[in-house]
Structure 1
Amino acid sequence: MPMGVVLRRAPGVTPWAKYAWKAIAVLPGAAEARWLLLRHEAGVSDFHAATLPLELHGADAEAYLHGLSTSPPCVYVVLRDSEMTPHPLEVTLVTASPYEAQDYADSSEEIVEKVPMPDGLIAWVRDFAQKHYHAERFKKRRRDKTDIGATEDGIGDARIVQLADVYRSPALTKKERLQ
């Protein structure tokens, strides 16, 4: 589904940042747009920054259900600082998976913004997730019956004959000392 991303530019509160940027909304089914000014009031501007596809994958159904269980359910917008374009941010991705958003947040190169989902988008994601979610059966792990303490495989150096100190280094032979 095409998803428009609305970014808000507000005056910065410190002398080091001229503007503060924040993703404030998504527009499901939006037409293509690149930094279209939607509103300007008292120094605060809202831009339809980009339209990207929101793709849902059946393997991520559990993540979508987890994201829908939060209050309010959110979609995540991944932004990246842009030095190559005239605009300060590049909208990289829109995702409904909190797990995927966490992966991007861990890299510290992207900015991940949490934006509330509109009602129609909540229903669309919920229907998809319920259709594709399959609970994984619990499998109890069983221990192997092998007694691992029965032999001393791999301990110490095989060239040392005595058992007293198997971890010491072997003494040089007479032939090795002469070389």
Structure 2
Amino acid sequence: MTTRPGIDVAVIMRKVAQNNRWQPFRWELAEVLAHEAAFGATPRRLLQSDTEERWLYPGFRVELFRDDAEGYYLNYTTDAPCWFVLWRMEDEPTIADEPLARPAAVSVSYHDAGRWLDAQEHCEQVPAPTEVVAWMRAFAEEHYVPEPRKRKRPESFRRLEDRFGNPASVSAGKKYGGGENNG
């Protein structure tokens, strides 16, 4: 059995007060950081004030998969490589008096983030530190093989089709109407 390269991380979610009577607060991703033993294994509140709350969610494993090397390549070649975090609101309160925003997954793959967004999930990003970008880059450069570009056939050689996909033809002569001596 082969082990995948991976790192353990913790996620910090932030609840921010807003001046809006319809939505008095909003949740957002605050930070992803390397897991430390002092974090423990259970989520806990780090900060509570009138304007903000911060919650720590430890125990996420970010693994790199060979078949997703292109997703890592797309991430580290951007101007701002980042962590992607999928989070959901709890249906019922579990550790607080009200439902919390709970991270569900952490990744460094553009493909994962795209799938989560396509599924209309909450997916946010925060910048990744340089050592994580270097780790991701080394893995992608070892395993990513770009697909060869296919030669595009010139438009003049394409088969003509009507809007329904049936073969069509083009004629230079007039089919209807008068001849040369209309008058």
For normalisation by structure 2, the TM-score amounts to 0.68
SS of equivalent residue, structure 1 residue 17: coil
Shift of 1:116: 0.7
Q: What is the letter of the counterpart of residue 124 of structure 2?
A: E
Shift of 1:5: 0.5
The 8 Å contact of residues 42 and 57 in structure 2, kept in 1 or not, is answered as: yes
Could you tell me the percent identity over the aligned residues?
27
Which of 75, 80, 90 in structure 2 is aligned with 1:82? 90
Which of 66, 72, 75 in structure 2 is aligned with 1:64? 72
Give the equivalent residue in structure 2 for 1:5: 11
Quick check: 1:35 aligned with 2:39?
no
Moved more, 90-99 or 132-141: 132-141
Structure 1 Cα separation of the partners of residues 46 and 133 of structure 2: 24
Structure 2 Cα separation of the partners of residues 125 and 68 of structure 1: 7
Query: What RMSD, in angstroms, separates the aligned Cα atoms of the two structures?
Result: 2.7
Structure 1 Cα separation of the partners of residues 133 and 124 of structure 2: 18
Matches within 5 A, 1:144-163: none
Structure 1 residues 78-134: Cα deviation after superposition (integer angstroms, max 9, x where no partner) = 0112113434222111011112111111222x2111111012211111111111112
Structure 1 residues 33-57: Cα deviation after superposition (integer angstroms, max 9, x where no partner) = 4332334455322221243111211
SS of equivalent residue, structure 2 residue 19: strand
Give the equivalent residue in structure 1 for 2:20: 14
Which of 114, 121, 132 in structure 2 is aligned with 1:102? 114
The 8 Å contact of residues 33 and 48 in structure 1, kept in 2 or not, is answered as: no
The 8 Å contact of residues 8 and 60 in structure 2, kept in 1 or not, is answered as: yes
Gaps of 5+ in 1: 148-179
SS of equivalent residue, structure 1 residue 14: coil
SS of equivalent residue, structure 1 residue 34: coil
Q: Report the CA distance shift for 1:71/1:138 in structure 2 as closer, same or farther (over 3 A).
A: closer
Which of 129, 148, 153 in structure 2 is aligned with 1:137? 148
Structure 2 Cα separation of the partners of residues 70 and 30 of structure 1: 28
When Rg is computed on C-alpha atoms for both structures, the one with the higher figure is: 1
Q: What is the letter of the counterpart of residue 139 of structure 2?
A: F
